[in-house]
Amino acid sequence: MERKKAGDFPPEVMKLFDGYVHGALSRRDFLERAGKYALGGLSAAAMLESLQPNFAWAQQVRADDKRIKAGYADYASPGGSGAMRGYLAQPANARGKLPAVLVIHENRGLNPYIEDVARRLALANFVALAPDALTPLGGYPGDEDQARALFASQDAKVRGEDLYNGALFLIGFITAGLTQATGEVLPKFGDFPILSRLWEAMEAPEATPAKARGRVSAAPTRRRQQLLALIIAAKPQAIADRVLKELNRGATALHGQGMYTHQEREVLMVAVTVTEIAQLKSLVHAEDPNAFVIVTPAKEILGRGFQPLEA
């Protein structure tokens, strides 16, 4: 069968098909409205069949391509459906820090085209995760019409939590085991609640957004979330030296005593930002795998390297 292009159909039919694909029109509505544009012996039903996706034609990267590693990954979704699944793809010989992309499908679930998009990103040296929002309902059913119906039956708020937790899983996956991990979160835009949630989780507000030309600015000035780490380890001096050298942060030793062993210990107190905590944990583990590290959010840290100390 010859593969038709969008230009082979009247523009009005393409608009109707877009409405059908995204749930604004039923199949019956599409057929009735598209019928008046039928031409050249091509009925409305034939046009709809021709416009349906052919995943084999669209595939660019095979699932067994040796240049990538791809497969399904399960992750927890607290506050959402509890357990979720996504398609995870990465370069076969991935090393060090790699950029990551969360691939969000439309209203048909994790179909073969979305999986292929994830593989294309892996081939471009990204780590890509494509969550399947239909996981709680058994996953993508293999039929686009069934997938649309399943998607429409879901609670949008729960689905949002599931996708948000997919983003957190991806962040954890790409930063696990790194000795250095820094990053920024995209600006907060109202039309993208997942990015907004990530922004709020990773950043702390600097000040109330200022109004500009009668409207609230979409990207207020923000600072990285500040954290306080308490480290109980057998080699506090070695850890403190690395904190000073590698993180360019100060470390304060507090005298402590283990109430079970009655051994005296030095407890290190280190103030860091959220983008430095992965490196801190990594260097502590390298010096003392049996160390205890307690990390708590700090409402405000004032002084050199953080916010200025003002009266």
pLDDT band at 61 (very low <50, low <70, confident <90, very high): very high
* pLDDT tens readout for residues 84-127: 999 999 999 877 778 899 999 988 899 998 999 999 999 999 99
Which of 50-59, 142-151, 159-168, 176-185 is predicted least confidently? 176-185
**Which of the residue ranges 37-41, 133-137, 145-149, 305-309 has the most confident prediction, judged by mean pLDDT?**
133-137
Q: At what angle do helices 11-21 and 44-51 cross, to 10 degrees?
A: 60
Mean pLDDT of 171-179: 68
In the structure encoding, which two tokens stand for residue 109, read together?
Answer: 């679930």
Q: What are the residues facing 152 on neighbouring strands?
A: none
Direct distance between the N- and C-terminal alpha carbons of the chain, in angstroms, rounded to an integer: 76
Give kind and range of the element (H or E) at residue 149.
helix 144-152
* Residue 228 near residue 301 (C-beta atoms within 8 A): yes
Architecture of domain 68-175 in CATH?
Answer: 3-Layer(aba) Sandwich (3.40)
CA 99 to chain centre: 11
pLDDT of 49 over the 90 cut = no
Report strand pairing: 264-273 vs 252-257. Answer: antiparallel
* Residue 124 near residue 131 (C-beta atoms within 8 A): no
Beta strand residue intervals within the chain, DSSP E = 68-77, 82-91, 100-102, 127-131, 203-205, 211-212, 215-216, 222-224, 226-232, 252-257, 264-273, 292-297
Give kind and range of the element (H or E) at residue 15.
helix 11-21
* Domains of the chain, residue spans: 6-52, 68-175, 225-297
* pLDDT tens readout for residues 221-256: 345 678 889 999 989 999 999 999 988 888 888 888
Distance separating alpha carbons of residues 239 and 247, to the nearest angstrom: 11
Tell me the H-state helices in 176-259.
193-202, 236-242
Mean pLDDT of 281-308: 82
Q: For residue 191, what pLDDT is reported?
A: 46
Length of the chain in terms of residues written? 311
Instruction: Look up residue 19 and give its amino acid.
Output: G
Instruction: Look up residue 101 and give its amino acid.
Output: V
Measuring CA to CA, which residue among 89, 45, 47 is closest to residue 69? Answer: 89
Q: Which fold has domain 225-297?
A: Alpha-Beta Plaits (3.30.70)
Which residue has tokens 């200025």?
Answer: 308
* Residue 293 near residue 281 (C-beta atoms within 8 A): yes
In the structure encoding, which two tokens stand for residue 269, read together?
Answer: 């107190």
Q: For residue 259, what pLDDT is reported?
A: 74
| Stated pTM of the model | 0.51
Name the CA radius of gyration of the chain, rounded. Answer: 26
pLDDT of 212 over the 50 cut = no
- Cα separations (Å) of 249 from 158, 180, 229? 40, 14, 12
pLDDT band at 211 (very low <50, low <70, confident <90, very high): very low
* pLDDT tens readout for residues 2-43: 666 666 777 887 888 777 767 677 778 877 887 777 766 677
